[in-house]
Structure 1
Amino acid sequence: MRHAGRARSAAAGALLLCATAALPVPDALAAGTPGPYGFAPAATSVTGSPAPAGAKRLTAGTTYRSSLPGDTAVHYSLALDATTDTYVSATAAPAPGSTVSAGEGIKVTVRDAAGRSCSLDTETFGVVRSARPIAAWGAREISADRPRCKTAGLYDVVVERVGTPVSAPDDWDLELYVVSEPALREPVAAEVPEAWNSRTPVPASGEPVAREGGSGFASAVPVGPGAWGAGIEPGGTLFYKVPVGWGGQLSATAELAAADGRGGYTTGALSLTLYNPARGFVDDVSANYAGREESAALPPLPPVAYENRYAGPDRIAAMRFAGSYYLVVHLASEVADKFGEGPFDVALRVRLDGSEKAAPEYAGQPRPDDLFEAEPADLDLGGVTGGPATGGTPGGDGHGDTAMTVLAVSGIGTGTALLAVLAVWRVVARRRLGRS
């Protein structure tokens, strides 16, 4: 019952971004310079335990900051009821410029009180052998095929590294994000959704509009359908978020511009990774680079639906929530060896198709309480400032939903809006320059 307030915020946000798009971007803010991972400012510090006994308790709706050693698993605990699904995402952030291998990565396991596994997820650096933030997630789901994980009680969350050399390098920074999903008022059949359009979509067209990405999930920059551009240096990572409603079908492509006459070849130079609103890994793609323009497009994904969780492939099952989906762009540090320090121009082309569907009727509130909401303000920010998109938004006509690109601002004068723009720009510039 906050719809009216959101509509006003959306319109104001749209005007602010239209004005800021015309302002010059300082060089220090224009490129994704490699730097430390951007933790949530309010993240609670917690130390992992070497054993389940004495493990610190994690609470749904909270973000935590911890560290992950190279030679020891760390444990945390969850006190769960017998009705709520709970997800734990762990983001590992090696120091920029550190050495990692293709098989190195992070594993998250959730176990019941008897030590039996409820879920397990492992994510590695893969062909993009470049130090960057990667995330894996674990879950305690109430499911007929997992009867041992249905009971209330204490659960063990185990986070560990995989493929790490015995010579145990430095610890990695670790961010934990815990969310909960209530049961439905009326259970639904555990059936995979009906067939969906799996044809490869045409990427959004148009000249990219400048939109610098964030340095972590908490600072991910909202975008919508359209083309978005930024500068990125080798080893840099940019975080964006796209609000996707129930029934929305997301597709995205990352493009790396040609180098200035320099030759060479870098395997896995550009990567694009998609995470769902619980920061669960969905899919990723990479592209090699020989100095010519290259692109990396995510494979077709199904429309967002509650029932996707019953699908076999993990990449489809992860498309189970509405809310903000995260697109993470990384340029491998090895690019500098062949093509210089940059920055390099990168474009993110985002498309939303599908038809709007009714939200499932939950019996309670998720934590955080806005987790499964595709914020109208975020949609306006994206739709107003991006380059043209070839696809429609959920419920739209293929040319974007006019309700999501409204420019009228009620109750805000032009002078007030411009002052707000300058104030916001000044604060953002100071913070980001301080980080650099």
Structure 2
Amino acid sequence: MTRAGRAGRGTAAEAVRRGGRRAGRRVAAGAGAALVGAAWCVVAPAGAARATETPPPYAFADDARTVAGTPSSTGSRTLTPGTTYRSAIAHPGAGGTTTLYYRLELGAEDNVHASVTALPTPGSRVGFADGIRVAVEDANGFDCDAGSARFGAARSPRPLTASALRTVGTDDSRCAAAGTYYVVVERTAASGASAAARSEKPSTPEEWDLELYVTSEPAVAERRATTPPAEQDAPTPAPPAGPARPREGGSGFSTAEALGRGVWGDRVAPGQTRYYRVPVDWGQRLTATVELGGARGAGGPGGAGGRAGGREYVTSALVVSVFNPARMPVQDMDTAYDGSQKSTTLPSLVPVAYENRYAPIDRIATVRFAGWYYLAVTLHPDVGARFGRGPVGLTLRVGVTGERRAGPKYAGTARPADAFGVTGREESAARDGAAGTPGPTGVAAPGRSESAAMKVLAAAGIGTGTALLAVLGVWTLVGRRRAAGRRVSA
């Protein structure tokens, strides 16, 4: 794909503007719906909520700023490192590509990472080749770095995350100068012919929401080796044993539940993605085994399965992905599911080291700084069609091994602050369970139930209070009438 072709392609500017306005309206409408829903959740019996439980949508960061991408670098909006953004990208049409630009104004010292998570609507249809590509380009259209993600054989409408970066190392001198750079997001769709060759229907022609996360890692105070450590692959240790302690995963990076060493239990619904985060310090390595419980139920024909030995199964039913603190994809695995319990063990990560970034292999190069490492666990929606639509038990056996080592001394401050390191607060959050990313001072967010209550009070304000008083007033009136009725009967 040539730069000229990409510049001449894309969607019309007005269509993008309309898409941006629609995204803004959805944010406003969602806030209103959340306000009403919050009032109901306060007064509704717990059983009523569970009876109609459906996989929640992706949870954007509370402080995410809405920004519209542009089909050309001209007039593109500026992204600031340390900030999370919400955007949207239109469907490109069969065999096409939609391209959006965002601007970065960078100095000559910091390494900047741009991560983009694309969010198809739950229940929508996606194809094997549908996906996104993210690049950081200089002012002359040169790719400093690029990454991509696609749905592949799973064809499950799950969140897709890809990333690209601008580094100032010796091998990246062309992108080391201060100046204007661009984050370029491309969405691709398979052509009708290629989809037909795989016996799949075209993807749903809808726009996808995007979450963009930009981080900045400062330069080191003193020069370090530019040779990656010798490959340190080691046999994956036996996973932790023992009873699982309950932890409820989040619905996005921003609400990921903190986990430490140990065995953790949760439930995941068909079509749902659960997010968790684990603090991994310099010199340490992460291991994880994910077990899916048995789910025998009345099934039906699904779109991504088959039959083996007379038993139904869903291919790529469970997808487990690992991301580093900048949300760069590290590795992922998937496994089939036939309704009986399954287990998948991720290969042990290499120990966290600054010099890993110089390795030519992504699964090593991405383990380049300490901090929160994320686990995303997705259950294919076809599991519900074949084995029952209720949530399935999930067990996570998490290990963090290796001795801590001293990390690099940075010459500046990361954005967001404390993004690349592990403190006692992170360790405490992992032990006690806390959802959400650390705040500006590095203090972990409250636990899930406490956080939800705070959000209801903060977001609802007088409006929700009025709604609650109205509901209580109705209950009081009904109670009085019933009491009066009993007195008359007596």
Q: TM-score, normalised by structure 2?
A: 0.72
The one of 399, 403, 410 equivalent to 1:355 is 403
> Computing the radius of gyration over CA atoms, which structure comes out larger, 1 or 2?
2
Deviations along 1:334-368, whole A, 9 cap, x unmatched?
Answer: 11121010211011111000110001011101100
Note the C-alpha offset of 1:118: 0.3
Note the C-alpha offset of 1:297: 1.6
Say whether the 8 Å CA contact 2:253–2:275 is kept in structure 1: yes
The one-letter code sitting in structure 1 at the alignment partner of 2:73 is P
1:336 paired residue number: 384
The one of 200, 217, 227 equivalent to 2:263 is 227
Say whether the 8 Å CA contact 1:221–1:241 is kept in structure 2: yes
Q: For residues 358 and 226 of structure 2, what CA distance do their matches in structure 1 show? A: 6
Say whether the 8 Å CA contact 1:192–1:308 is kept in structure 2: yes
Q: For residues 127 and 171 of structure 1, what CA distance do their matches in structure 2 show? A: 22
2:247 paired residue number: 211
The one of 95, 118, 128 equivalent to 2:144 is 118
The secondary structure found in structure 1 opposite 2:170 is coil
CA distance 1:340–1:423, change in 2 (3 Å): closer
Q: For residues 184 and 74 of structure 2, what CA distance do their matches in structure 1 show? A: 12
Say whether the 8 Å CA contact 1:108–1:138 is kept in structure 2: yes
Equivalences, count: 375
Q: For residues 60 and 158 of structure 1, what CA distance do their matches in structure 2 show? A: 16
The secondary structure found in structure 1 opposite 2:356 is helix
Percent identity for Structure 1 against Structure 2: 44
Q: For residues 26 and 92 of structure 1, what CA distance do their matches in structure 2 show? A: 33
Q: For residues 449 and 359 of structure 2, what CA distance do their matches in structure 1 show? A: 47
Note the C-alpha offset of 1:240: 0.6
Deviations along 1:112-159, whole A, 9 cap, x unmatched?
Answer: 111111001011122322111111011111122222111111001100
1:69 paired residue number: 90
1:93-172 aligned within 5 A: 93-165=119-191, 169-172=205-208
CA distance 1:384–1:222, change in 2 (3 Å): closer
**5+ unaligned residues in a row in structure 2: which ranges?**
1-45, 93-97, 193-201, 299-310, 435-445, 461-490
Greater relative CO (CA pairs within 8 A, separation 6+): 1
Deviations along 1:400-427, whole A, 9 cap, x unmatched?
Answer: xxxxxxxxxxxxxxxxxxxx99982871
Note the C-alpha offset of 1:84: 1.0
| Alignment RMSD | 2.5
The one-letter code sitting in structure 2 at the alignment partner of 1:298 is L
The one-letter code sitting in structure 2 at the alignment partner of 1:140 is R
Note the C-alpha offset of 1:430: 5.9
**5+ unaligned residues in a row in structure 1: which ranges?**
1-24, 387-419
2:305 paired residue number: none
Q: For residues 422 and 82 of structure 1, what CA distance do their matches in structure 2 show? A: 40
Q: For residues 427 and 54 of structure 2, what CA distance do their matches in structure 1 show? A: 27
The one of 41, 51, 68 equivalent to 2:72 is 51
The secondary structure found in structure 2 opposite 1:101 is coil
Q: For residues 255 and 380 of structure 1, what CA distance do their matches in structure 2 show? A: 25
The secondary structure found in structure 1 opposite 2:254 is coil
The one-letter code sitting in structure 2 at the alignment partner of 1:292 is S
Note the C-alpha offset of 1:26: 6.8
1:245 paired residue number: 281
Q: For residues 447 and 313 of structure 2, what CA distance do their matches in structure 1 show? A: 42
1:321 paired residue number: 369
Q: For residues 31 and 256 of structure 1, what CA distance do their matches in structure 2 show? A: 22
CA distance 1:43–1:426, change in 2 (3 Å): closer
2:236 paired residue number: 200
The answer to whether residue 330 in structure 2 is matched with residue 282 in structure 1 is yes
The secondary structure found in structure 1 opposite 2:279 is strand
Note the C-alpha offset of 1:28: 4.5
Say whether the 8 Å CA contact 1:309–1:316 is kept in structure 2: yes
Say whether the 8 Å CA contact 1:222–1:241 is kept in structure 2: yes
Deviations along 1:376-422, whole A, 9 cap, x unmatched?
Answer: 23323433679xxxxxxxxxxxxxxxxxxxxxxxxxxxxxxxxx999
The answer to whether residue 332 in structure 2 is matched with residue 311 in structure 1 is no
Say whether the 8 Å CA contact 1:31–1:230 is kept in structure 2: no
The secondary structure found in structure 2 opposite 1:155 is strand
The secondary structure found in structure 2 opposite 1:264 is strand
The secondary structure found in structure 2 opposite 1:377 is helix
CA distance 1:289–1:182, change in 2 (3 Å): same
The answer to whether residue 296 in structure 2 is matched with residue 260 in structure 1 is yes
Note the C-alpha offset of 1:100: 1.1
The secondary structure found in structure 1 opposite 2:255 is coil
Say whether the 8 Å CA contact 1:32–1:230 is kept in structure 2: no
Q: For residues 426 and 216 of structure 1, what CA distance do their matches in structure 2 show? A: 15
Q: For residues 327 and 226 of structure 1, what CA distance do their matches in structure 2 show? A: 15
The secondary structure found in structure 1 opposite 2:317 is strand
CA distance 1:423–1:280, change in 2 (3 Å): closer
Q: For residues 331 and 237 of structure 1, what CA distance do their matches in structure 2 show? A: 7
Say whether the 8 Å CA contact 1:209–1:385 is kept in structure 2: no
The one-letter code sitting in structure 2 at the alignment partner of 1:371 is A
Q: For residues 448 and 419 of structure 2, what CA distance do their matches in structure 1 show? A: 30
1:181 paired residue number: 217
1:21 paired residue number: none
The one-letter code sitting in structure 2 at the alignment partner of 1:321 is F
Note the C-alpha offset of 1:174: 0.2
Q: For residues 90 and 211 of structure 1, what CA distance do their matches in structure 2 show? A: 26
Q: TM-score, normalised by structure 1?
A: 0.81
CA distance 1:54–1:331, change in 2 (3 Å): same
